[in-house]
Amino acid sequence: MLKSTKVILITAGVLIGLGLIISGIALGINKARYGSLGFANEAQDSGKYERLSTTIDDDFEDVEIAEVSSSVNVMPTDQKKAYVEYTNGESFEHVIKVSGNTLKIEYKEKGGWYNRVGFFTWFMGRPDMSDESVNVYLPAAEYGNVYIACVSGEISVDDIKSSRTDINSVSGSIKITDSDLGNLNVNSTSGEIELSSCEVTSADIDSISGNVKLDTFKSHDTDISTTSGEVSLKDCECGETDIETVSGDVKGNLIGEYEIDYDTVSGDVDINGSIPGGYKIEVDTTSGNIKLDQQK
């Protein structure tokens, strides 16, 4: 037998052996976590969740929320103190505390080291928290920095006031209504971004494939960027505006006087009026269509 053939066979044998060892370890850990050799599933986890509520006694100015798959809802309350509704389980928890002037809400996995290693988390299953929302109730006040980050859960913000707002999502949708958000930054990969009845000082909105919808929106400075997501504007006072998209359409109506410049390669263009000396709007697209109307 050739030496090279022996090396290949030995290497293959070693890899197969390592694979069996890792699989055995993973199954053993899974048994320790769930009491069986089967993978985590809804039936096994159904009795291991606990719905909780925590009242925030300490004062704070900023809000910071870091979540994985649970939906995050931020909304007002008539109560004098903020409170949070959330779900904990045997393999995960939410850490809620006030650190300095910041209310921090964070999802954390607990238990052995294997709960924090990506391979074992993938192999044995991460808890599905899509139906267990984190609800944050805030008394009426002007907050400082509001930061929300979520991987796959939906994010909803209603009727808050802040000097700066940063919201980030990978695949979950983002919906903000009736809010005064100061300097706003919103980022999403594939989730839809929707802002309704909101006023901001400036807005920086980025999306790859998710649509961007602005309805009754007011800003002094607006920057919107998408790859394939559609940009829809309805009754918007956007101030100085820059819209960039590759294949997504840009359409809607604007309130005020705007001087509209556009650049497109193959998309159709339908613009109702461009007023020299008005707020400048620049629209750049490769193949997306442009249709904009103005009303004073």
3-state secondary structure at position 120: helix
Where residue 43 falls among pLDDT bands split at 50, 70, 90?
very low
Where residue 44 falls among pLDDT bands split at 50, 70, 90?
very low
Q: Round to whole Å and give the CA distance between 54 and 280.
A: 47
Mean per-residue pLDDT over the chain, rounded: 84
pLDDT computed for residue 121 by the predictor: 47
Q: Which residues contact 146 (CB under 8 A, 6 or more apart)?
A: 62, 63, 74, 157, 160, 162, 164, 165, 166, 181
* Residues 203-248: tens digit of each pLDDT: 999 999 999 999 999 999 999 999 999 999 999 999 999 999 999 9
Question: Are β-strands 134-139 and 83-89 bridged in parallel, bridged antiparallel, or unpaired?
Answer: antiparallel
Task: Answer yes or no: CATH 3.90.1300.10 is held by domain 44-117+126-147.
Answer: no
**Higher per-residue pLDDT: 188 or 277:** 188
Q: How many CA atoms lie within 13 A of 245 on its CB side?
A: 28
When mean pLDDT is compared across 120-124, 151-155, 232-236, the lowest value belongs to 120-124
SS (H, E, C) 167-185: EEECCCCEEEECCECCEEE
Q: What backbone torsions phi and psi does residue 41 show, to the nearest 5 degrees?
A: -145, 175
Answer yes or no: is pLDDT of 134 > 80: yes
Percent of the chain with pLDDT over 70: 77
Q: Which residues contact 173 (CB under 8 A, 6 or more apart)?
A: 154, 155, 188, 191, 192, 193, 194, 210
Q: Which residues contact 88 (CB under 8 A, 6 or more apart)?
A: 49, 50, 52, 94
pLDDT computed for residue 48 by the predictor: 80
Answer yes or no: is pLDDT of 18 > 80: no
pLDDT computed for residue 113 by the predictor: 44
**Higher per-residue pLDDT: 46 or 128:** 128
| Mean pLDDT computed over 148-171 | 96
Answer yes or no: is pLDDT of 31 > 90: no
Domain(s) of CATH 2.160.20.120: residues in the chain: 44-117+126-147
Answer yes or no: is pLDDT of 144 > 60: yes
Q: Round to whole Å and give the CA distance between 210 and 227.
A: 9
pLDDT computed for residue 255 by the predictor: 93
When mean pLDDT is compared across 53-62, 115-124, 200-209, 271-280, the lowest value belongs to 115-124
Percent of the chain with pLDDT over 90: 67
When mean pLDDT is compared across 26-40, 65-79, 207-221, 244-258, the lowest value belongs to 26-40
pLDDT computed for residue 111 by the predictor: 64
When mean pLDDT is compared across 26-40, 141-155, 214-228, the lowest value belongs to 26-40
pLDDT computed for residue 40 by the predictor: 42
